[in-house]
Each structure stands twice: as structure tokens, then as C-alpha cells.
Amino acid sequence: MEEKQGVAKVVSIIPGLAVMVLTLYVLRIFVEPWMTDAVVFGQKGWFVKVLHLNYILLAIITGMLYRNVLFGGKIPEWAEEGFRTTRLFIKSGVIMLGSLYTIQSLAKVGGIAIGLIMTFVFGTILFVMWFGKRVGMERSMIGVMGAAAGVCGVSACIATSPAVRAKPADVALAIATVLGFGIMTMFISPFIGHALQLTDYQFGAWVGTGILNSGQVLATCLAYNPTIAPGTAVAYGEIWNVVRVISIPFVVFFITMWYWRAEAEAECITLGGIIKDKFPVFVIGFFGMTALSSLGMLGAEGSSTLKLMREVMSWIFGLGLIGQGAYIDIREIKAAGGKPLQVGLAAGVLKYVIALIVIMLFVSKEASF
């Protein structure tokens, strides 16, 4: 019986996955080369040089069109299981990104990343707590919004919600607010980066600090520079992103203690227990891949193994981001409103703008690795 259920599960994935694979194939093999050669307003490659379009942005846009136009706002049952593989693709790709680093290179940038990320993470949470209290938001709503805006839109929000007894509506509203803001920054950040002539290091550090969702950090970095290799925007952005994701258990503990500070239940909450329950497992895979790279087990830079891995990564991320686009429901974003929207957007804008200023003033243009 279990074997039959397993086979049925695999079969149910195929239709939606086939749509994603075919879409990405068309975008990469036909659409992107056409954009590179197309002459618009007398300029060859206008779509790429002026609009900075590439297969990553097109993948997200196409996914959004599937859900909100072609599918009428809801992924159909026949495609649902296939599109659910989105998170698997993105997490698998992030694990493989560990191959871009060595332990030595992480050590060089780690201190800067940890300092900036922790300052912005806990600074944002404190701002949400202060502003949320001023406008009269419920404490449970403040808790999940603080986690969503401070760390990582979806994961931290969901991880925090049981600890602060948040209602499903609170969680949905916090996620919709943060993802809505993230969608906007995902599209405008590459233009801002190019206008300010940010290096890949500056852009990756800014986006990894200032954008609120891990998948959107990845998408934005790849939209700025779709090359997957050491020294590119995605390589730097993911360092900041991974440091931020690692902070989730500590953020959950901090918000939980804030929420229950006057309650007896706070006595049974321990940091160790929260780390055990909430630590993002895929981060272990990321550092495992970095260890293999440090030991030279993946080959030297430029080896056929690494070239193959990076080509596989580009396809994995493309598939994942088509799916991510398909999970952007415009109606849910429109529904996000009231005090949570005010607080979430205020926190998001402050974090985004201040991160850019700090990166431009205090972070070198080029990384030390």
C-alpha cells in the first residue's frame, strides 16, 4: 500500500514539473538569446542592456502570469504537486552554492556579514516592536511581523507563530506584507544597483541584508548578474543570506521571551530547545558542500565538475523561481492592509534604504576573496 502511495505521489508531481521544465527550456534556449540579439530603438540587446532582463526575471514573471492570469488565481490540482517542488529546488540549489566557497574565504567575510546582519535583524525587530505598540497592534501580530521583517519573510514567521500564539490570519498577513514588499524590491533593486554602479560584492551585501525573503535575495542577485561563480552577486548575497537564516532560532527565542516575559510559561523556554527545533537543516548541507570545496574534493576552479555543478544550479534555480512566481497571489498581497501593512512596509523600507547607505559608506567595493 505504501509503495503504491509513493508511486502515486511521484506521478502526481510530473504534470506541474513538466510545465516548469518546458517553460524554463523555452526561456533559456529561445527567449533569452532572442532578447540578446533583438534590435529595439536602434540598439541591439535593448531588453538586456536597458531593462536588464534575463531568464531569472522572466521565470518569476512567467510563474506569476501562470497563477494570476492563466490559472485564474489558483494553481490547479493537476499541477499543484509539481509546483510544490519549488522549495526543494531552491533549498537544493542553496546547498550546492556552498561549492562556491572555501572555509578560508568564509572566514574573511564572516565577521563583516555577521556584524551587519545581526545589527539589521535585531534592529528591525526592535523597530517593529516599538512601532507596532505605538499603532496598537496585537502582541502576537507584532511577534510574527517582527520575525518576518527582521529575518526571512516566510520561515521565521512560521517558526515564531506557535510561540506567540499567532492566529493563521496573523501569519498570512505578515507573510503577504513582507512578500509584497519583497516583490517590489526584487524588480527595482537591479536597476538601482546598475544606476549606482554597485559592484557584485556591494550589491550582494546590500540585497542579502535589505531584502526580507531568502528566495527573493537569490532571485534579485541572479537578476543583477545571472552568472553562478565565485565573485558574483549571488555568491556574495548568499553569504549574507545564510548568516541571516542561521539567526532564526535566536530570533524565535528573543521574540518568545519578549512575548512571554510576564507569563509563567517563559520558565520552560530554553535557547537550546529552540535551536534544536528551529535550526534550518539545509544550512548544514551548505557548509558541508563548502567543506568539500575546501578539501579540493570538487576539483580546482574551472574544473569540469564545477562547471557541470554551476550549469545544474542555473537550471535548478530557474525551475525553483518559476514555482516561486506561481506562488505569488496578487489578491493576497492586495488584501494585506491596515496597521500590519503600515508597520511591515515601514520596517522594510527603513531596512532596505539604510542597508544601501551603510553598504555604500562602510563596505569596500571588492571582497577580500
DSSP codes joined into one string, 179-235: HHHHHHHHHHHHHHHHHTT--HHHHHHHHHHH-S-HHHHHHHHHHH----STTSHHH
Q: Which three cell numbers stand for residue 122?
A: 535585531
Amino acid at 226: P
Average pLDDT over residues 305-326: 88
Model pLDDT, residue 350: 94
C-alpha Rg value of the chain to the nearest Å: 21
- CB-based contact 24:316 (threshold 8 Å): no
Q: How confident is the model at residue 15 (pLDDT cuts 50, 70, 90)?
A: very high
Grouping H, G, I as helix, E, B as strand and the rest as coil, residue 44 is strand
User: Is 264 a residue whose pLDDT tops 70?
Assistant: no
CA 255/CA 266 separation, integer angstroms: 11
* 269 has a pLDDT exceeding 60: no
* Window from 135-139, 316-320, 333-337 with minimum mean pLDDT: 333-337
For the chain, the first-to-last Cα distance in angstroms comes to: 53
- pTM of the complete model: 0.78
Question: In residues, how long is the chain?
Answer: 369
pLDDT (mean) for 11-31? 94
Pairing label, strands 39-40, 43-44: antiparallel
155, pLDDT greater than 80:
no
Band of residue 57 on the pLDDT scale cut at 50, 70, 90: confident
Kindly list the distances between the CA atom of residue 240 and the CA atoms of 141, 260, 295, 326, in Å, as whole numbers in the listed order: 27, 30, 23, 26
Neighbour tally for 275: CB within 10 Å: 14
- Return the amino acid letter for 40: V
Q: Answer whether 267's CB lies under 8 Å from 261's CB.
A: no
Phi, psi for residue 40 in degrees, rounded to 5: -130, 135
Task: Give the integer Cα–Cα distance in Å for 8 and 147.
Answer: 37
Residue 135 to residue 257: CA distance in whole angstroms: 22
Reported as a single tens digit per residue, the pLDDT across 188-231 is 999 999 999 999 999 999 998 998 777 788 889 998 998 888 88
Q: What is the mean pLDDT of residues 3-13?
A: 76
Half-sphere exposure of 289 (CA within 13 A, CB side): 17
- Distance between CA atoms of 163 and 255, rounded to whole angstroms? 8
